[in-house]
Amino acid sequence: MSSAEALDRAQLATLVAVLRAGSFDRAARLLHVTPSAVSQRIKQLEEHIGGVVVIRGAQTRATTLGEALYRHGLQLELLERELGTALSGAPTTPATPVQIAVNADSLATWITPALAAFTRATGTPIEVFVDDQDHTTSWLRSGRVLGAVTTEARAVQGCRVDPLGVMSYRANASPAFVRRFFRGGLTPENVAAAPLIAFDRKDLLHEQFLRALGLQKAPVATHFLPSPMAIVDGCLSGVGWSLNPEPLVAAHVARKRLVDVVPGRSLGVELYWQYWAIASHTLEALKEALRDHATRALGAA
């Protein structure tokens, strides 16, 4: 194949549908064709470009080549819909969701109002994938999303980066938990004995916080609760201590239902918005909505 212009548009659209839906059968229903027609189009696409684009299985996955084509197909889909709207004054095709990757703490604290403002202004639905803020750019690299909230300031190839601000975290526990485990403050011995609560095994905020204090995370009992609100509830009930987004715990701290494990200390995490570097009104509107609400919710980056 000499260039992307040589791609068959129906075959490319079929690849997008297969990877979006996760299977040939579900893609066939989306496209209103038979599964065999979907399979034939993918086979023709692979023959045309000289490589495998999808790995068949219970959940169809893209190869590296397929990821590049998927990203190209999503960009064309977005830009063509915007062009149709500009020419006719109204959307010419049903809006497919704008897919983004977001860390759970942003989703629980500030980003939902920004997404609501964006959908009201554009009429475009949103599909959010949740991952650790240190890992959301992998979704961009694979072409699965159009943008990501991330801690990475260095742009992924083909993307732009805008600073959003600083998410502030506080190390909290219930008063009874602090009396039991941290009566002498945070020491290596106390840290090793006190159970903590993490979001998942990618969650390294506790290690960052302890390193800043000159301490090291020891092998301790760790509870994994994949919900920021569930983690706060775990701290309130005395299950363990955790690093919590300040907006989620400020009222609890004010009422002394939670106390700071290290008074006066917090951990600041700089967040960035990375998104495809294409001339898209939709992506521009999303960027502005995110920056507007981040400016109000987060400290300056």
Cβ(206)–Cβ(198) below 8 Å = yes
pLDDT value, residue 154: 94
pLDDT in tens, 89-118: 665 555 678 899 999 999 999 999 999 999
Give percent helix, percent strand, percent coil of the chain, each to the nearest 5. 50, 20, 35
Please compute the mean of the pLDDT values over residues 267-279 and round it to a whole number.
Answer: 93
Q: What would the two tokens of residue 100 be?
A: 């983004």
Domains of the chain, earliest start first: 4-88 (1.10.10.10), 98-155+271-297 (3.40.190.10), 168-268 (3.40.190.10)
Kindly report the pTM of this predicted structure.
Answer: 0.81
Summarize the confidence of residues 270-275 as an average pLDDT.
96
Question: What pLDDT sits at residue 90?
Answer: 60
Please tell me the distance from the alpha carbon of residue 82 to that of residue 153, in angstroms, as a whole number: 29
Here the tokens at position 184 are 């002498």
**What mean pLDDT comes out for the span 243-249?**
96
Query: 152 burial class (0-12, 13-18, 19+ CB within 10 angstroms)?
Result: buried
Mean pLDDT to the nearest integer, 49-62: 86
CA 96 to chain CA mean position, Å: 18
Categorize the per-residue pLDDT at 4 as very low, low, confident or very high, splitting at 50, 70 and 90. Answer: very low
Percentage, residues of the chain above pLDDT 90: 56
Q: Which of 167, 182, 180, 166 is nearest to 260 (CA)?
A: 182
pLDDT: which is higher, 57 or 191: 191
Whole-number Å distance between alpha carbons of 154 and 262: 32
- HSE-CB of 230 using CA atoms within 13 angstroms: 10
The Cα-based distances of 138 to 107, 171, 207, 235, 300 in angstroms read 18, 28, 22, 31, 25
Name which of 64-73, 121-130, 240-249, 268-277 the model is least confident about.
64-73
**Do residues 45 and 53 lie in contact, with contact meaning Cβ atoms separated by under 8 Å?**
yes
- The predicted-structure confidence for 143-167, as pLDDT tens digits, reads as follows 888 999 999 999 998 899 999 999 9
- % of the chain residues with pLDDT over 70: 93
The residues facing 224 across adjacent strands are 198
- Model pLDDT for residues 61-91, shown as the tens digit of each residue: 888 888 888 888 888 878 877 777 667 666 5
* Span of 41-50, 131-140, 223-232, 292-301 with lowest mean pLDDT: 292-301
Cβ atoms of 78 and 71 within 8 Å: the answer is no
Give the tokens for residue 259: 């106390």
> How many CB atoms lie under 10 A from the CB of residue 284?
12
Is residue 13 within 8 A of residue 72, CB to CB? The reply is no
d(CA 289, CA 66): 31
The tokens for 255 are: 């009422």
Spacing of C-alpha 1 from chain mean position: 34
Question: What pLDDT sits at residue 3?
Answer: 46
The predicted structure's pLDDT at residue 1: 52
Mean pLDDT of the chain: 89
Evaluate whether 142 touches 156 at the Cβ level (below 8 Å). Answer: no
Please tell me the distance from the alpha carbon of residue 131 to that of residue 290, in angstroms, as a whole number: 18
